[in-house]
Structure 1
Amino acid sequence: MGFEETTPIQEKTIPYGLQGKDLIAQAQTGTGKTAAFGIPIIQRLETDASDIQALVLTPTRELAVQVAEELNRIGQFKKIRALPIYGGQDIGRQIKSLKKHPNIIVATPGRLMDHMRRRTIRLQSLEAVVLDEADEMLNMGFIEDIENILAETPSERQTLLFSATMPIPIQRLAKKFMRDPQVFSVKAKEMTVPNITQQYMEVQEKKKFDVLCRLFDVQSPKSAIVFGRTKRRVDELGEALNKRGYAAEGIHGDLNQAKRDSVLGKFRRGAIDFLIATDVAARGLDISGVTHVYNFDIPQDAEGYVHRIGRTGRAGKEGLALTFVTPREIDHLHTIEALTKRKMERKPVPSIGDAIEGQQRLAVDGLLEVVQQGNLQGFKVLAEELLGEHDSAILVAAALKMLTKETIKEDAIKLTAEPPLRAKKSNNQRYSKGRPQNKGGKNWGKPGGGKGKGRSNRSSSNKWK
C-alpha cells in the first residue's frame, strides 16, 4: 500500500490490538487511525465466516465510505471485505449487498439501527467493535444510539475507541462497555504535522475576500480547501469566487448525498480547484493532493484547527495552511497556538501588484507548458506570418496579456460579515448541554440528516478530561 513506517498512533496501538485487547487511542484526524485499528482487526479475522465479524461506527457517511475503502485495501490479499452502511443511500441496495456476507460493516449509528430493527444486520457474532471519532459522534447526538448498539453485541468482543478528545460522556461509555482498556495518546507536540507550513494574516473582515483572491493569484494553489464558519458563508464564498473566475464549489450539511458526491468527485478529478467547506461537511474527508488549506474564518478551537489543516501535508508531502484573523481575534489565535504548541508565522497581506505579478507568472507557466507539450505544427505557418508583420517580443507580450485573467474591481463583491470569535477563559470549551454550537451543518449520519427521536445527547456534564 506504500506504507514505509508507522505513524506514532499506529506504532503504539497495532501490537496491542493484535492481542485482541480493548484499547482507547486519543489521536487526531489524519494520523493514520484507520490502519491503526484496521490492520490488527483484519489480521485476526477468519476469512471463511459468513457472519459479520467486525463493526466500525463513524459519525458521517463520508467517513464511513472512506474507512470502508481503506479496510478493503488493507484486507484485499486476505479476502476480507468491508461494506459501508449509511443514511441517504437506498436501504434496499444495502440489504442486497449484505446478502453477500461482508466481513466488516462500517456504519453510521442511525442507519445501523434501522437495519437492526429490520433484522437485516445481526451483531451476535461480532469479534471486534471500533468507535471511530467517538467525540464527534457525541457532538452529533449519537451517544444513546451507540449505547443501544453496544448492548446488542457479544460481551466478549474486542472494543477499540478512537477519539481526538475524551469528554466525560465518552469516558463513561468506555467504563461501561470496555474491559480494562489500555489508553494510548499522541502528545500535544504531535498534534500538528511538521511538514505543514502554518501562517496567519491579520485581515479586516470586509477585506478577507479580496485578500483571498490575491493569495490565489500569488500562490497558484493546485488543489485547495477553504474553510468557512457557516453554511451561508460557504454558499456566498463559492458564488463570489466563481464570479471572479475561480473554479470553486461548496459543501455543507444542507446538501443532499448526490450533490455532495458530485462536488467531491469534481474536486478529486481536478474539475474544480477550490473546495469551500464547513467543519461538519469536511469531517472525515480523505482527499489526497491538497496543497493548501485556507481558514477564511478562524476555527472555533484547537481541535477544529488541527482537523482543518490536517487535510493537507498528507503522506509525507508538504502543505501550507493559512488562517485569516481579524484584529479582534488575535487572542483567540494565541489560544490555539498555545494548545497546539505551534506558533504560526505572521505574513503580510499581498498587494494588488503582487496578485498581478502572480497572474503574469501563471500565464508564462501556461505558455511554457504548451511549448513543452509540442504538437504545434498547425500553428507554425500562422506564427511565421505574424512574425513577418510584428516584433516577436510584442507578440509574446500580447499572448501573455490574453492569458492573464482579467481583474474585477475589488469592491464589486461583498460577503455577509461574520462576528469575530473571542478567546474563551474556561478551557476553550464549545459545549452547552452536550450540543456543539455553531457547527455549520446538520447531523449527517442520520437518515435525512435530522436529529431523530430518542437520539439527542442529554448529558449536561461535558467538560474535557
Structure 2
Amino acid sequence: MPIMTTNPALARALAERGYTEPTAVQLAVSAPETSGRDLLVSAQTGSGKTVAYGLAMAETLLGNDEGFGPAAAPQALVVAPTRELALQVQREFEWLYAATGANVVSCVGGMDPRAEQRQLSRGAHIVVGTPGRLRDHLERGRLDTSAVQVAVLDEADEMLDLGFREDLQFILDATPPERRSLLFSATLPRGITALAKRYQRDALRIEVTGAEGGHADIEYRAIRVAPKEIEHAVVNVLRFYDAASAIVFCNTRETVRHMLATLQERQFSAVALSGELSQNERNAALQSLRDGRARVCVATDVAARGIDLPSLGLVIHADLPNDAESLQHRSGRTGRAGRKGVSVLLVPPFRRRRTEDMLGSLGVTPTWSGPPTADDIRKLDHERMLRDPLLTDEASEDDIAVARTLLEQHPAEHLVAALVRHYRAALPAPEEVADPGEARSPRERATGRGFGGPSGAGGGTWFRLNIGRRHRADPRWLLPLICRRGNLTRDDIGAIRIFDDESAFEVAAAALDRFSEALRTPDGSNVAIEPLPGGPRPSRPERPGRGRPPRDGQKDRPASGKSFRDKPAQGKPADGGPREPHSPGRPPRAHPNKFGGKPAGKGRKRP
C-alpha cells in the first residue's frame, strides 16, 4: 500500500491518483502512535499536508468502513485562511473521498451565501471554509456543528496573522469538546501553542523537517538587476525558463496591473490575481492556468498560500518580499510534492545585503548571476525549435504531398527560413538587459580600488545634494537614496562628501548618461540634485574644531578627514538599510522629507 491507510476506499483513490511514495508529513500522521489523538503539526507549504490530514480524519470518520451514511449535520470541519486554500482542500477531498460517497461543502467569502445555505440544508459530511464565512453561518443558525468529530485548522499561523483569532475561538467553542483537533501550521509561534493548549487534549506534536522543509525541490536564483529594468528582466526570465506555468509576485495591486499590461503587450498569455478581484474572477484566473489557456499569473501575496498548480515550475519575485516567511510561502508555490521548481529573486544592488540575510535565515544559498541576455534566450530558442513536435513528429501523407508541392515552387532554404520566422513570431521578443555587476569586495572598498580609487578609472562627475551635516545626512541612507533616484549601482558612485549644508557625490563617466536621464523624471521629493562644477567645496567655512584645510596637492575631504566611499560604513550597511532616510542620522523634522510632504512638526506624525 503506497501510503499507510487502513481504509480500502482511500487506498484505491491514492493508487488511482499515482501516489507511489508518501511524503514525510503523510508518514508522520499515519504512524500508529497518532491513532485517535489530537495533533499539532509543523509542516511547510507544499509538503502534502492536505492529503495527510485527509487520511488522519478518515480514521475517525470511517474506521474500516468504505462509505459514509446519509448526509446530515457535518462530521468534520476544516478551517483555512483564504478562499483559494479552502477551495483547493475541497478539490483534494473530492477525489480522496470519491469512493466513500462523501458530500464535501465549501463555505468561503466571495461566494453566494444563500447557495451555501441550501447545500448545508441538504446535508454534508465534511465542511471546508474560511473563518469569517463559517462564523457567519454559525451565527445565523445555518451550520450545525453538534455532530463534528474532527476539526482541522490548516495554516493556523496565517489565520492568526490575518486577525482571525476571535473567529477561530468562536468556531471551536461551537464544536463538541470531545471532538478530535488537528492543527497544521508552517511555524509554531506563541499564539499557535496557546491556541493548541486551550483547544487540544494531550496533543502529539509533530515537526516535519529535512527534505520536506520547503526547499529541497526548489532551486533559488538571485539575479542582479537595475531598478528601472525589472520589467525587462521579468520578460527575459520568463523566456529563459519557458516554464509550463509561472507566478510573478508584486507587492501592490497597482504594480500587478502595470506588470500584467506589460506582459500582455509582449504577447504573454497572462492573468492577474489580487485582492481587488471578485472570487469569480480569481477562480477564472486560476482555472485558465490549470487548463493551459494562460501560462503566467501576476499576483500579490494573496496567492502566496493555498494555491496548487501542478504545472507551476517558476516563481519570480519582481518585488522582493517583506520578510523571510513571505519568501518561503511565495517560493512554496513551486517544487511541491516531489516536483522540481525554480524561485528567482530580482535584486537591485542596494537590496543585496537584505536579500542575503533573508535567504540565510531560511538556510538557502542561492546562485547569483546577471539577468538572462537576449543572446542566451535566442540560443535556447534555437535548441527548443529543433525539439519542437512540429519537426519531430512523423508527417502524414497529406503533409508530405503539400511539402512536395512547395518544394517545386520554392527553394528548400526559403521554406525553412519561413518556418523559422513562423516559429519566432509566436515568441515574445527578449529584452536587452544589463547586469549591474558584482558589488565590490570589502577589501576593494577599504583600499579604494575600483571606481574613484587609486586603481580605478577615475574621471567622475560631481553632483550636489541639498542635504548636509546640519540635516544629519548620513552615507548609510544617502547611498541607497542616490542609487534609487539616479538608476545607479553602488559601483557607479565614487566618493560621498558631507558638508554643513550640502553633500557632494561623484558619478562614474560610464553611468553619467543613465544618471542624467533618470534625473529628468521628477520623483516628487524635495531632495534636489544638481551638477557641481569643479568638484566639492563647502558652502560656508567649517566651524572651528571641525578639521583643518587640506594641504597643497590634497583633495578636499569632509570634516572627518575621510571619504565615506573609501571606508565601509559602520553599523547597518547601505544595501540593507532603510528604504528612506528614517535611520539614525536622518534629516530633522524641520527639513522637507523624502516623500515630498510637509515637514513633520509638533502634533504631526512622521511620514
Q: What per-residue deviation string (whole Å, max 9, x for no partner) do you get for residues 362-393 of structure 1?
A: 44444x52662634726844x44543454312
- Distance in 2 separating the partners of 1:307 and 1:421: 24
Match for 1:332: what amino acid? R
Q: 2:118 aligns with which of 81, 96, 111?
A: 96
Corresponding position of 2:306: 284
Q: Which runs of 5+ in 2 are unaligned?
A: 1-13, 63-67, 434-517, 524-573, 579-607
CA contact (8 A) 2:225 2:370 kept: no
Contact 2:47 2:214 in 1 (8 A): no
AA at the equivalent of 1:301 = D
1:14 aligns with 2:30: yes
Tell which deviates more after alignment, 238-247 or 389-398.
389-398
Report Cα offsets for 1:51-94 as digits up to 9, x if no partner: 21111110111111111221222222333332111122112211
Q: Residue 374 of structure 1: which of 370, 373, 395 is its match?
A: 395
Cα 1:189/1:341, change in 2 over 3 Å:
farther
One-letter identity of the residue aligned with 1:6: P
- Greater shift after overlay, 313-322 or 252-261? 313-322
Give yes or no for contact 2:40–2:205 (8 Å, CA) kept in 1.
yes
Q: TM-score, normalised by structure 2?
A: 0.64
Change over 3 Å in CA distance of 1:400–1:60 after alignment to 2: same
Residue 110 of structure 1 deviates from its aligned partner by 0.9
CA contact (8 A) 2:151 2:179 kept: yes
- Contact 2:46 / 2:335 at 8 angstroms: preserved in 1? no
Question: Given that residues 245 and 311 in structure 2 are in contact (C-alpha distance below 8 angstroms), is that contact kept between their aligned partners in structure 1?
Answer: yes
**In the superposition, relative to structure 1, how do residues 190 and 332 fare at CA in structure 2: closer, same or farther (>3 Å)?**
farther
Secondary structure of 1:162's counterpart equals strand
Among 404, 415, 420, the residue aligned to 1:400:
420
Q: Could you say if the C-alpha distance between residues 201 and 410 of structure 1 is closer, same or farther in structure 2, counting changes exceeding 3 Å?
A: closer
Distance 1:73 1:29 in 2: 20
Which has the greater radius of gyration?
2
Q: Could you say if the C-alpha distance between residues 245 and 113 of structure 1 is closer, same or farther in structure 2, counting changes exceeding 3 Å?
A: same
Partner of 1:40: 56
Distance (whole Å) between structure 2 residues aligned to residue 421 and residue 239 of structure 1: 30
Residues 312-461 of structure 1 mapped to structure 2, 5 A cutoff:
312-366=334-388, 368-369=389-390, 372=393, 374-375=395-396, 377=398, 380-381=401-402, 383-405=403-425, 407=429, 422=576
Q: 1:395 to 1:72 in 2, by over 3 A?
A: closer
- The answer as to whether partners of 1:200 and 1:323 remain within 8 angstroms in 2 is yes
Kept after mapping to 2: 8 A contact 1:335/1:423 = no
- Equivalent runs, 1:238-253 vs 2, <5 Å: 238-253=260-275
Q: Kindly state the Cα deviation for residue 162 of structure 1 after the two structures are TM-superposed.
A: 0.8
1:60 aligns to what? Answer: 82
Distance 2:60 2:128 in 1: 17
Q: C-alpha distance in 1, partners of 2:396/2:257?
A: 41
Is 2:19 the partner of 1:3?
A: yes
Report what 1:446 is aligned to: none
CA distance in 2, matches of 1:373, 1:327: 50
**3-state SS, counterpart of residue 129 of structure 1:** strand
The question of whether the paired residues in 1 share the 8 Å contact of 2:47 and 2:212 is answered with no
Q: Secondary structure at 1:335's aligned position in 2? A: helix
1:122 paired residue among 119, 144, 155: 144
Question: What letter is aligned with 2:180?
Answer: Q
Contact 1:18 1:41 in 2 (8 A): no
What displacement does 1:423 show?
Answer: 7.5
Partner of 1:441: none
Cα 1:104/1:337, change in 2 over 3 Å: same
CA distance in 1, matches of 2:575, 2:149: 45
Q: Distance in 1 between matches of 2:85 and 2:201?
A: 27
Query: What do the CA deviations read for 1:209-261 (whole angstroms, capped 9, x no partner)?
Result: 21222223333222212222222221111110011111111101110011111
- CA shift for structure 1 position 189: 6.6
Further displaced range: 271-280 or 94-103: 94-103
Secondary structure of the 2:393 match is helix
Tell me the residue number matched to 1:455: none
Corresponding position of 1:445: none
Match of 2:494?
none
Could you list the per-position Cα deviations for residues 316-353 of structure 1 after superposition, in whole angstroms to 9, with x for gaps in the alignment?
Answer: 23222222111122222222332222211123322222
**Judging changes above 3 Å, is the alpha-carbon distance between structure 1 residues 189 and 332 closer, same or farther for their aligned structure 2 residues?**
farther
Shift of 1:394: 3.0
Question: Per-residue deviation at 1:297?
Answer: 2.1
TM-score (norm 1): 0.82
- Asked if 2 retains the 8 angstrom alpha-carbon contact of 1:52 and 1:105, the reply is yes
CA distances 1:144-184 after superposition (whole Å, capped 9, x unpaired): 11111111111111111111122332222222222122211
Structure 2 CA distance for aligned equivalents of residues 172 and 242 of structure 1: 47
Deviates more, 1:265-274 or 1:275-284: 275-284
Deviation of 1:121 after TM superposition, in Å, equals 0.6
Pair 408,78 (structure 1): closer, same or farther in 2 beyond 3 Å: closer
Q: Deviations 1:408-447 (Å, cap 9, x if unpaired)?
A: 8769xx9x99xx99489xxxxxxxxxxxxxxxxxxxxxxx
Amino acid across the alignment from 2:424: T
The offset of 1:101, in angstroms, is 1.8
Secondary structure, counterpart of 1:39 in structure 2? helix
Kindly indicate whether the alpha-carbon contact (under 8 Å) linking 2:352 and 2:575 is maintained by their aligned counterparts in 1: no
> Could you tell me which residue of structure 2 aligns to residue 430 of structure 1?
none
Q: Is the 8 A contact 1:253 1:281 kept in 2?
A: no
Alpha-carbon distance in structure 1 between the residues aligned to 2:575 and 2:321: 9
Q: Secondary structure at the match of 2:251?
A: coil
Give distance in 2, aligned partners of 1:98 and 1:373: 54
- SS of structure 2 residue aligned to 1:322: strand
Residues 191 and 340, structure 1, Cα contact 8 Å, conserved in 2: no
Question: What is the Cα-based RMSD across aligned positions, in Å?
Answer: 2.7
- What's 2:44 paired with? 28
Alpha-carbon distance in 2 for matches of 1:409, 1:149: 52
Identify which range, 9-18 or 287-296, moves more after superposition. Answer: 9-18
SS at match of 1:291: strand
Match of 1:260 in 2: 282
Taking the aligned partners of 2:94 and 2:405, their CA distance within structure 1 comes to 59
SS at match of 2:31: helix
Paired-residue identity, %: 33
**Does the residue aligned with 1:314 lie in a helix, a strand or coil?**
coil
Q: Report the CA distance shift for 1:189/1:304 in structure 2 as closer, same or farther (over 3 A).
A: farther
Structure-1 separation of matches of 2:57 and 2:357: 38
Q: Of the two structures, which has the highest relative contact order with CA contacts closer than 8 Å and spacing of 6 or more? A: 1
Give the distance between the partners of 1:309 and 1:128, measured in 2 at CA: 31
One-letter amino acid of the structure 1 residue matched with residue 343 of structure 2: A
